[in-house]
Amino acid sequence: AVTVADVYRDYASDRGSVIFDRSTFLTHFPDRRVNAAGLFLSPGADAERARAEILERAAEAGKRIAVVTNAEIRRQAVRVFDQTFAITYALEAIAVIVAVLGIVNTQIAQVLDRRREIGLLRFLGASRRQVGGMMLVEAVLLATTGIALGVVLGVILSLILVFVINLQSFGWTIEWSVPAAFIVQAAAAILLATVLAGMVPAWRAAGVRAGAEIREE
């Protein structure tokens, strides 16, 4: 009998893998061939120097082997993921640009539809700064609502992708986590973009003249 010590996530093979102590493996599977080996260095050791020494000794013994450091494997994996998700990042940028333009168009349309209301506020004593500030606050509230809905729907979608679609399509799941720092940074960037985009309709609203709009009434 073999005792299962632990279960871990492994994305190297879609069939999974099992790690045995070599003596235990040879007891059950009499195959002494070795096709890969992992070397764990002491803290502070130079990985590149160890790699060079291993390759040198292998060459002296007439053996051809490949030695890859953990850092190199990580760089290759990150590069592959970055290339894979490059189109996703481009789509994200397009979505943000479209959202910002949508806020600008919505705010400008509101200014045009509410000229009489804004003119009345100006007639009652509201300053240009107050009217412009009101439009900026509305833009921020609109963006905040969008961010809140986006976070909630994003979390729900990620749960479905990880625990439903991945499991049905590939037979495995990945570790799920919430990138809180990224969400905060993205929310701050969106709010900043919203404020900048809201300055145009705010400037137009502040330019509404009180007298002309009241006379039309």
Which has the higher per-residue pLDDT, 14 or 188?
A: 188
pLDDT tens-digit series, residues 83-95: 888 888 888 889 8
pLDDT class of 211 with cuts at 50, 70, 90 = low
For range 106-114, the mean pLDDT: 80
83: number of CA atoms within 13 Å, CB side?
6
Q: What angle, 0 to 180 degrees and rounded to 10, lies between the N-to-C axes of helices 128-160 and 86-113?
A: 140
CA distances from 167 to 8, 98, 170, 174 (A): 16, 33, 6, 9
- The answer to whether the predicted template modeling score (pTM) of the entire model surpasses 0.95 is no
Alpha helices for 41-178 (secondary structure H): 47-60, 70-84, 86-113, 115-123, 128-160, 166-170
pLDDT-based confidence at 148, cuts 50/70/90? very high
Hunting for tokens 């871990």 — which residue is that? 8
Token duo for residue 204? 């137009």
Q: Is the pLDDT of residue 200 over 90?
A: no
- Helices 86-113/180-206 angle, 10° precision: 30
Has residue 165 got a pLDDT over 80?
yes
- Mean pLDDT value across the chain: 84
